[in-house]
């Protein structure tokens, strides 16, 4: 038996490429935000998490260039040793203040933030309780939490969550970890139900605000702010790869917990720190999020409009609510690829999501919108969706 045998047996990607419906790893040869160049033509992008369209804001670009000139292209080391810059500390201070938390800690990606924070907080004698639809990086955090017991409850099922909590050993530590906005479903975590349960069963709460910051809440602090539930949430985490238009992530919470993570999280201690360009870009976008609410307002208008229009057209959009993430459930892998291809032919790029990323009967086209899309872009998207939906008998 050769350890590579499974690689030879994996032929599905090749077959899909040969059928001309492979939706992954398509290179972009140009990108101005809402419109990108793919396969030598311009397409409208409705598959990006660049929610506020800030990746191409001149001020953000300039900040990244300026930081590169000043500090170079890489920190060439971990935060722990030679890789901490003064702008890393400035960003941590500003993030803590923005999120109303005692302390914040940045990582080089959002994925690493979840893996580092969750695996450090939870260990032997602890429970991690997660929603089944939580992001892959939360799952990875639970796998890295050596000795911790992981319990899952069906997406949004509060009765099941209570059953799980009621069955746990009262003498062990507990933390409930959920996405604030679920990245595929586009719905918001039910903190109004989770918080009383956490209190009853003495569990801490950790919320991933990757798709919440810059999107929800009066000040853009995310799902917790939107729900009026910031205070009872112990730890918030987010990424810089979405509204912050950069790369990296952070966790924020009580100083004593953040300090512990800072000294024990492998992805922080043993991996290089965020680049000067990425860090400076976040400092600038954080400033823009706090001073220019018009981007968030436009995003909300677009999300609400497209949700209403998709529903009117007859698409199954599941439980998406209040966010710019709107899934179009196709519920069959092959048909999802065909829908994706036809949409792409019509000049629109969305994301095809199949099992195992979602359950096999939940294959979907994930649409996510950015505030810089014009009304004209949206009309073109709707026309393409109507055409392809009719053609494939989905609406
Ligand atoms: C909910 C959620 N958490 C974490 C991450 C990871 O973030 P990053 O892309 O910065 O690694 C993502 C990315 O898609 C996400 O959707």
CA of 49, closest atom in ligand 1: 14
Q: Would you say residue 360 has pLDDT above 90?
A: no
| Nearest residue to 395 (alpha-carbon basis) of 271, 312, 290 | 312
User: CB of 114 closer than 6 A to ligand 1?
Assistant: yes
CA of 183, closest atom in ligand 1: 16
Q: Would you say residue 230 has pLDDT above 90?
A: yes
Question: pLDDT, tens digit, for every residue of 251-302?
Answer: 999 999 999 999 999 999 999 999 999 999 999 999 999 999 999 999 999 9
3-state secondary structure the chain: CCCCHHHHHCCHHHHHHHCCCCCCCCCEEEECCCEEEECCEEEEECECCCCCCHHHCHHHHHHHHHHHHHHCCCCCCECCCCCCCHHHHHHHHHHHHHCCCCEEEEECCHHHHHHHHHHHHCCCCEEEEEECCCCHHHHHHHHHCCCCEEEEECCCCHHHHHHHHHCCCCCCEEEEEEECECCCCCCECCHHHHHHHHHHCCCEEEEECCCCCCCCCCCCCCHHHHCCCCCCCCEEEEECCCCCCCCCEEEEECHHHHHHHHHHCHHHHCCECCCHHHHHHHHHHHHHHHHCCHHHHHHHHHHHHHHHHHHHHCCCCCCCCCCCEEEEECCCHHHHHHHHHHHHHCCEECEEECCCCCCHHHCEEEEECCCCCCHHHHHHHHHHHHHHHHHCCCC
User: CB of 111 closer than 6 A to ligand 1?
Assistant: yes
> Residue 240 C-alpha to ligand 1 middle, in angstroms?
9
CA gap 239, 250 in Å, rounded = 6
Asked whether the beta carbons of 281 and 246 are under 8 A apart, the reply is yes
> Residue 183 C-alpha to ligand 1 middle, in angstroms?
9
Kindly list the domain boundaries of the chain, sorted by start residue: 5-51+293-391, 58-291
Q: Would you say residue 172 has pLDDT above 90?
A: yes
> Residue 69 C-alpha to ligand 1 middle, in angstroms?
28
> Residue 287 C-alpha to ligand 1 middle, in angstroms?
21
Question: pLDDT, tens digit, for every residue of 115-147?
Answer: 999 999 999 999 999 999 999 999 999 999 999
CATH architecture of 5-51+293-391: Alpha-Beta Complex (3.90)
CA gap 47, 186 in Å, rounded = 13
By most ligand atoms within 8 Å of CB, the mutation choice from 49, 51, 106, 110 for ligand 1 is 110
pLDDT at 356 (0 to 100)? 85
CA gap 247, 224 in Å, rounded = 22
CA of 112, closest atom in ligand 1: 11
pLDDT at 256 (0 to 100)? 98
pLDDT at 357 (0 to 100)? 85
Neighbour-count burial of 41, counting CB atoms closer than 10 A to its CB (0-12 exposed, 13-18 middle, 19+ buried): exposed
Over residues 68-95, mean pLDDT: 97
By most ligand atoms within 8 Å of CB, the mutation choice from 241, 248, 324, 366 for ligand 1 is 241
| Nearest residue to 181 (alpha-carbon basis) of 214, 141, 144 | 214
Lowest pLDDT segment from 138-147, 162-171, 353-362: 353-362
User: CB of 182 closer than 6 A to ligand 1?
Assistant: no
pLDDT at 92 (0 to 100)? 98
Distance (Å) of CA 319 to CA 217, 327, 328 = 19, 9, 11
- The contacts of residue 28 (CB under 8 Å, 6+ apart) are 36, 37, 38
Question: pLDDT, tens digit, for every residue of 301-339?
Answer: 999 999 999 999 999 999 999 999 999 999 999 999 999
Total-model pTM: 0.97
Q: Would you say residue 358 has pLDDT above 90?
A: no
Over residues 355-370, mean pLDDT: 92
With both helix axes pointing from N to C terminus, report the angle between 110-121 and 136-144 in degrees, rounded to the nearest 10: 40
CA gap 265, 144 in Å, rounded = 10
pLDDT at 28 (0 to 100)? 94
User: Side by side, which strands form the sheet with 364-368?
Assistant: 325-329, 364-368, 351-353
pLDDT band at 381 (very low <50, low <70, confident <90, very high): very high
pLDDT band at 359 (very low <50, low <70, confident <90, very high): confident
pLDDT at 259 (0 to 100)? 98
User: CB of 131 closer than 6 A to ligand 1?
Assistant: no
Over residues 78-103, mean pLDDT: 97
> Residue 367 C-alpha to ligand 1 middle, in angstroms?
16
Residue 269, both tokens: 């201690």
Q: Please state, rounded to an integer, the average pLDDT across all residues of the chain.
A: 97
Asked whether the beta carbons of 222 and 252 are under 8 A apart, the reply is no
User: CB of 238 closer than 6 A to ligand 1?
Assistant: no
pLDDT band at 355 (very low <50, low <70, confident <90, very high): confident
Q: Which fold has domain 58-291?
A: 3.40.640
């Amino acid at each position: 038996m050769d350890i590579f045998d499974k690689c030879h047996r994996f032929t599905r990607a090749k077959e899909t490429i040969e059928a001309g419906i492979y939706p992954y790893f398509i290179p972009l040869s140009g990108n101005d935000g809402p419109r990108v160049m793919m396969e030598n033509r311009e397409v409208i992008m409705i598959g990006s998490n660049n929610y506020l369209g800030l990746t191409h804001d001149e001020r953000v670009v300039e900040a990244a260039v300026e930081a590169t000139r000043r500090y170079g292209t890489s920190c060439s080391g971990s935060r722990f040793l030679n890789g901490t810059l003064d702008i890393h500390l400035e960003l941590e201070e500003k993030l803590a203040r923005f999120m109303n938390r005692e302390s914040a800690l940045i990582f080089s990606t959002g994925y690493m933030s979840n893996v580092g924070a969750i695996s450090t907080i939870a260990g032997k004698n602890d429970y991690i309780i997660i929603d089944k639809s939580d992001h892959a990086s939360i799952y990875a955090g639970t796998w890295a939490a050596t000795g911790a017991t992981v319990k899952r409850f069906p997406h949004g099922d509060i009765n099941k969550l209570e059953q799980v909590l009621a069955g746990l050993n009262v003498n062990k530590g507990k933390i409930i970890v959920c996405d604030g906005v679920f990245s595929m479903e586009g719905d918001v975590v039910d903190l109004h139900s989770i918080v009383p349960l956490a209190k009853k069963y003495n569990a801490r709460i950790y919320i991933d605000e990757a798709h919440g910051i810059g999107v929800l809440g009066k000040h853009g602090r995310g799902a917790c702010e939107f729900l009026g539930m910031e205070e009872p949430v112990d730890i918030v985490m987010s990424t810089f790869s979405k509204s912050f238009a950069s790369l990296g992530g952070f966790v924020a919470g009580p100083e004593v917990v953040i300090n512990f993570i800072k000294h024990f999280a492998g992805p922080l201690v043993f991996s290089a720190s965020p680049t000067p360009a990425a860090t400076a870009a976040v400092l600038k976008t954080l400033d823009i999020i706090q001073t220019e609410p018009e981007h968030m307002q436009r995003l909300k208008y677009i999300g609400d409009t497209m949700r209403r229009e998709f529903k009117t057209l007859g698409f199954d959009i599941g439980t998406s609510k209040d966010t710019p993430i709107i899934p179009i459930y196709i519920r069959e892998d092959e048909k999802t690829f065909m829908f994706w291809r036809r949409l792409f032919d019509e000049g629109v790029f969305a994301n095809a999501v199949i099992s195992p990323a979602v359950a096999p009967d939940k294959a979907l086209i994930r649409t996510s919108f950015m505030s810089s899309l014009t009304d004209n872009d949206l009309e073109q998207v709707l026309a393409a969706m109507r055409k392809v939906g009719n053609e494939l008998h989905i609406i």
